[in-house]
Amino acid sequence: MEKEETIQELQKESLQSLSDRDLLFLIESYVTRRNDYDNIASLIKGDEDVIAKMIDSDRVFNNVMNCTERILEISPYFLFSMLLRRAFKEKRKDSRFIERTIEALNKTEPVIPWNKSRLMSLLEDTQVSNYIANMLAQFTESSRLYNEKGDEAKSHQYIVDMITDSLHSDNIEKFHIYCHIGNYTLFLTGMIPEYIKYRYEYKRRPVDKHYYVGFGKTYYGLASGHTNARKNRLTGTLSQLSEGFEVIAQVLSFMNREYFYPAKAVLA
């Protein structure tokens, strides 16, 4: 895979470019009084506003959640996009979450204080949710978790090794490693925080959640200031991920708990 192609994978999928298979699934799930699915697909293909309204509907969500074998009919990007958009929406309506999050963020002495308007702007940023949906879709391939290209020969489970790689890389590769460190730490803190806790408490690993949050914020920040971020129109998205890292991690945890492991959510 060429370096330019790997950068494009950071934002490879979008609602505008849903595959024919995903689009057909969406239409079949949403439309109840017509069956001319191919005609409907030709009318809405590429229309992000219409597709977003459909994918955000309770009808489509319930169709996926109530018939789990249908997940096999859709792409990982479609699934994560649907669930992330719903999780962000739920958090925007959660006044307790908003109040607590603003208070917690401002205790870290940010350069620009957080308020409700700034937090809502982050939670409404569809470019951020789209970036994360692409990231999660990539990470369904386990090899991509430890290396941005899925190259097992260069896989790293430790952030310090990724950083070392960046010191000996060219400009484009450096940018991609910065993004990967951000993605890797966000995935761990948001999707599998219990893994970090287990290693810290039982495996005597001297790093806790704050360690990963710190590196994630730092390297998303470095990526946002890179020339290739501007070239690929990722500056704003990466900056949001850096500044709001803790918020996004909480949204991911909520999504994982509520939609993938609802039984655990009830017990909690």
DSSP per position, 167-185: HTS-HHHHHHHHHHHHHHH
How many Å apart are CA 103 and CA 98, to the nearest integer?
9
State the total domains in the chain: 1
How many Å apart are CA 98 and CA 248, to the nearest integer?
13
Alpha helices in 31-170 (DSSP H): 37-44, 48-55, 58-65, 76-92, 95-106, 116-123, 126-139, 142-146, 159-167
Q: Within a domain: residue 12?
A: no
Q: Within a domain: residue 221?
A: yes
pLDDT for position 2: 46
Q: Within a domain: residue 232?
A: yes
pLDDT tens for the chain, 268 residues long, are 444 555 566 677 899 989 999 999 999 999 887 778 889 999 999 899 999 999 999 999 999 988 766 667 899 999 999 999 999 999 999 999 999 999 999 998 888 999 999 999 999 999 999 999 999 998 887 656 665 555 544 556 678 788 778 777 787 889 988 999 999 999 999 998 887 877 766 656 667 888 899 999 999 999 999 999 999 899 999 999 999 999 999 999 999 999 987 655 444 4
pLDDT for position 172: 85
The separation between the first and the last C-alpha atoms of the chain, rounded to the nearest angstrom, is 43
Place of tokens 């790093």: 207
Q: Within a domain: residue 229?
A: yes
Q: Domain of 111?
A: 94-267
Q: Within a domain: residue 122?
A: yes
How many Å apart are CA 241 and CA 249, to the nearest integer?
10
Q: Within a domain: residue 51?
A: no
- Choose among 72, 80, 84, 75: nearest CA to 22: 75
Residue type, 105: L
Query: What is the Rg, in whole angstroms, of the alpha carbon atoms belonging to the chain?
Result: 19
Q: Within a domain: residue 9?
A: no
Q: How far is CA 226 from the centre of its chain?
A: 20
Q: How many beta carbons lie within 10 A of that of residue 86, not counting itself? A: 20
Q: Within a domain: residue 130?
A: yes
